[in-house]
Amino acid sequence: MLVLLVGLLVWSACASGPEPLPAEPAPVSASNARPSWPSTRAEAVEETLHGVVVRDPWRWLEDASQPEVQAWMQAQNEHARGELAKRPGREALARRFQELFYVDSISAPTRRGERLFYTRRHADREKAITYWRPVGSPESAAQVLIDPNTLSADGSVSVGQITVSWDGRRFAYQEKVNNADESRLIIAEVEGGARLDTLEGTKYATPRWTPDGSGFYYVYLPDEPGVSVADRPGTAEVRFHRIGAPQAEDALIHARTGNPQTFLGVGLSRDGRWLQVNVWHGWNRSDVYLRDLKDPAAATTWTPVASGQEALYDVQIWEDRLYILTNEGAPSWRVFTADPRAPARAGWREIVPEQPGEVIDGLDIVGGRLAITRLKDATSGLEVRELDGRFVRALTLPTLGASFGLTGNPEDDDAWFSFQSFTVPPQIYKTSVRSGETTLWSEVRVPIDPSPYSVEQVRYPSKDGTLISMFIVRRKDAPRDGSTPTLLYGYGGFSVSLRPTFRASIYPWLEAGGAYAVPNLRGGGEYGEAWHQAGMLDRKQNVFDDLIAAAEFLSREGYTSPERLAIQGGSNGGLLVGAGMTQRPDLFRAVICAVPLLDMVRYHRFGSGKTWIPEYGSADDPEDFKTLLAYSPYHRVTPATPYPALLMLAADSDDRVDPMHARKFVAAVQAATSSPHPVLLRVEANAGHGGGDMIKKSVEENVDVFSFLMGELGLAP
């Protein structure tokens, strides 16, 4: 399923033995002096929308091409970094994050032809390297496929998605400047690395190779004069590229939709017969069309598999059968099979029914069987079934945690799956689909001792009485007297599920005596599509109520107190924490807000904003406007309000969520706050929506984030 990326903070590793809790918590800073920051001029900008006067005094900060805006950003960034550099304990934090992040790890391999491909992170390199070696050969025979460390002297050129042809002879990779979403596609030979072609406009490419490796289908996104950034998604097309031919000759397979609220996707069956096009209408509806490439009469026609329904469809094709994972009539999802020669809905046959209390989170075909991922109370389960749906076995996972499905080829018995939890670093297991024999294949070794910490899952009532689940990680001997500094992390949108995953960066926080909490807010996918829809459009306030209720629960039950509670979120999660701090500033002492949406009246005019209209609505619609204005964090900032300390994280090359949100919100809070707490804007250079992809940048950012949090909440590293 298409998702807005949730991993705003880079995954890392872990830590050594924790230090004992201090007998008394360190005092929270209580200076009454209002901090200073670079001044920001306000303008008397107003517009009337649907009869309502909307003030926008910092609209001038929207245009980053203006020298005055660039100067403002530079001044704010220099001020923020200067203030952060004064925080105590930074050297110790830097050493700890280096220990945690610079570790060796290896991905599960992918077989293509007679070669295995995998990615390895080296403890002495900034970026992961992708290798290949012949099947059955030792590790010493591995050769470099692509090394991002060598693509630019300053590390500003990144590698995105890599796809290898089925015969293992050729590969394509996205080359991205500043780790932005925009990319070009490089096609090269695996043996020797000779470059074959370069394609532009490949932001959404996802190449689907033909069986013989002579070409691939991909999504082309032109950059046309007169088409705004926000309208570009509506110009995407599906094309076919033949290796060695000019891109201008690529055949048009599916025309643009003309609707910037949609995404196009393309798929091709393993045997090259069945071509599939998906049209995604946001994150709660999709259409699927099929074409038989072996039928000359169908060369220009598309047969609908599913179209016009308020449901999502994920279609896998194997040996002339369709396997359809859908939430149509089943919020927790179910699986059908159908004949691609007659794919009309009336001919579908259900083979895996919906199971109340569990969500089918993924479907793959591996080793000639169905591999299904389930979620129960936000924790993962894996099972194998026959192609007719008959249950074969459940895979045993080490404990409650997160896994993301089996990986492997439909025709190969060997498969791999990952496992991790809050206290277990990522592990990869190899399994036989046929026999079920499973062994540990690799694991990330990080210098932590998880034994002093407990992980509990609690439930608390939200404002409307809905019970929300939440994970809490803390020391087993932590008191329940409100004294524990706690970091509350959330997302709540786009059907993204927050599982109990490993996050190395929280270990210095835990070791210093802090706690970490992750609620499964509405808007996510942890409890199915109904849970998602309960937190979108005119129900978005439910998500913010769920966060606020989590904070109230943590304080009421003695886990922490408002003076020792911080919230963190990025992207849609940045909207979440922005809403939290503007609706209930009294509940939080500090806020980490990363690459956020915050001006919800104008968000759809910037970046990829129009693609999110099905999730949020649009201020162009009178009813949506009322909802958006009511919670828009930028418009909720109120003068003379004692706001929490704010560290805003922005990226200069973010082409997904425009950094104008961060700039305008920081200016508004700096002008309005009556508290003595800092309001800082940190701008990451040469970085996109997911941040920079070099480990040293992750170390630097985490030192800034956690020295800020520790200073504000009274912890010493």
Which pLDDT tens digit goes with each residue over 585-624? 999 999 999 999 999 999 999 999 999 999 999 999 999 9
Coil, strand or helix at 713: helix
Q: Do 544 and 492 share a structural domain?
A: yes
Please state, in angstroms and as integers, the Cα–Cα distance from residue 232 to each residue in 273, 612, 619, 653, following that order: 31, 13, 19, 17
Assigned token pair, 72: 């403002």
Answer whether residue 390 is part of any domain: no
How far, in Å, are 124, 332, 550 from residue 699 at the CA level? Answer: 14, 39, 29
Which pLDDT does position 29 carry in this prediction? Answer: 38
4: enclosing H helix or E strand: none
**CATH label of the domain that carries residue 123:** 2.130.10.120
CA nearest neighbour of 113 among 367, 434, 411: 411
Residues 73 and 129 in one domain: no
- Give the H or E element holding residue 532: helix 529-533
> Do 177 and 71 fall into the same domain?
no
* Nearest residue to 426 (alpha-carbon basis) of 7, 2, 8, 11: 11
Identify the pLDDT of residue 33: 60
- Which residues are within 8 A (CB) of 91 and not within 5 positions of it... i.e. 6 or more apart? none
Q: Contact at 8 Å (CB) between 39 and 77?
A: no
- Residue linked to tokens 């991205």: 176
- Give catalytic status of residue 689 as yes or no: yes
Does 70 share its domain with 215? Answer: no
Whole-number Å distance between alpha carbons of 258 and 419: 41
Query: What is the rounded distance in angstroms from the CA atom of residue 133 to the CA atom of residue 272?
Result: 26
Is 532 one of the annotated active-site residues of the chain?
A: no
Residue 435 lies in a domain: no
Question: What tokens does 82 get?
Answer: 């200067």
Exposed e or buried b per residue across 357-395, where buried means at least 16 C-beta atoms within 10 angstroms of its C-beta: ebbbbbbbbbbbbbbbbbbebbbbbbbbbeeebeeeeeb
How far apart are alpha carbons 310 and 287 in whole angstroms?
Answer: 9
User: What is d(CA 558, CA 506) in angstroms, rounded to the nearest whole number?
Assistant: 21
124 and 224 co-located in one domain:
yes
Q: Is residue 581 part of a domain?
A: yes
Q: Cα(568)–Cα(498) distance, rounded to whole angstroms?
A: 14
Q: How far apart are CA 248 and CA 269, in angstroms?
A: 26
Query: Is the domain of 94 the same as that of 122?
Result: no
Q: Which residues contact 137 (CB under 8 A, 6 or more apart)?
A: none
Alpha carbon 104 to chain centroid, angstroms: 23
What pLDDT sits at residue 24? Answer: 32
Q: Are residues 113 and 63 in the same domain?
A: no
Regarding beta strands 590-594 and 645-651, do their DSSP bridges make them parallel or antiparallel, or are they unpaired?
parallel
Residue 153 lies in a domain: yes
Side-chain half-sphere CA neighbours of 82 within 13 A: 9
Residue 87 identity (one-letter amino acid): R
Q: What is the pTM of this model?
A: 0.94
The answer for residues whose C-beta is within 8 angstroms of residue 246's C-beta and 6 or more apart is none
Interatomic CA distance for residues 12 and 15, integer angstroms: 11
Residue 31 tokens, joined: 């200076």
Q: Looking at residue 52, which CATH number applies to its domain? A: 3.40.50.1820
At which of 213, 246, 268 does a domain end? 268
- Show the low-confidence residues of the chain (pLDDT under 70): 1-34
Same domain for 76 and 198 = no
- Hey, what amino acid is at 49? L
The 3-class secondary structure across 626-684, one letter per residue, is HHHHHHCHHHHCCCCECCCEEEEEEECCCCCCCCHHHHHHHHHHHHHECCCCCEEEEEE
Q: What separation in angstroms does the CA of 294 have from each of 62, 275, 340, 341, 614?
A: 51, 10, 12, 11, 36
Domain closes at, from 268, 290, 318: 268
For residues 377, 380, 381, 382, the Cα torsion angle rounded to the nearest 10 degrees is 150
- Is residue 324 situated within a structural domain? no
Query: In the structure encoding, which two tokens stand for residue 512, read together?
Result: 């210093």
Residue 121 contacts residue 142 (beta carbons within 8 Å): no
Residues 121 and 87 in one domain: no
> Token pair of 365, please?
């075909």
Amino acid type, 260? P
- Look-up: residue for tokens 């500003």? 156
216 and 75 inside one domain: no
* Residue in 579, 566, 426, 404 with CA at minimum distance from that of residue 497: 404
Going by C-alpha positions, the residue among 559, 585, 553 that lies closest to residue 674 is 585
Residues forming a β-bridge with 676: none
CA angle 119, 124, 126 (to 5 degrees): 65
Say if residues 562 and 621 touch (Cβ distance below 8 Å): no
Strand-pair category, 262-268 with 274-281: antiparallel
Helix (H, G, I), strand (E, B) or coil at 559: coil
The answer to whether 483 and 453 are in contact (CB under 8 A) is no
- Provide the domain limits for residue 590: 46-99+448-713
Would you say residue 286 lies in a domain? no
Is 589 inside a domain boundary?
yes
Q: How many domains does the chain have?
A: 2
Tokens of 9: 């903070």
Name the domain boundary from 244, 268, 292: 268
With respect to residue 419, please indicate whether it lies within any of the assigned structural domains.
no
Distance CA 476, CA 495 (A): 32
d(CA 69, CA 71): 5
Check 561, 632, 689, 707 and give the catalytic one. Answer: 689
Q: Indicate if 50 and 170 belong to the same structural domain.
A: no
CA dist., res. 18 & res. 3, Å (int): 36
CA distance 66 to 213: 46
The catalytically annotated residue of 158, 380, 403, 571 is 571
Q: Are residues 92 and 226 in the same domain?
A: no
DSSP state, residue 293: T
Nearest to residue 631, comparing CAs of 492, 498, 466? Answer: 492
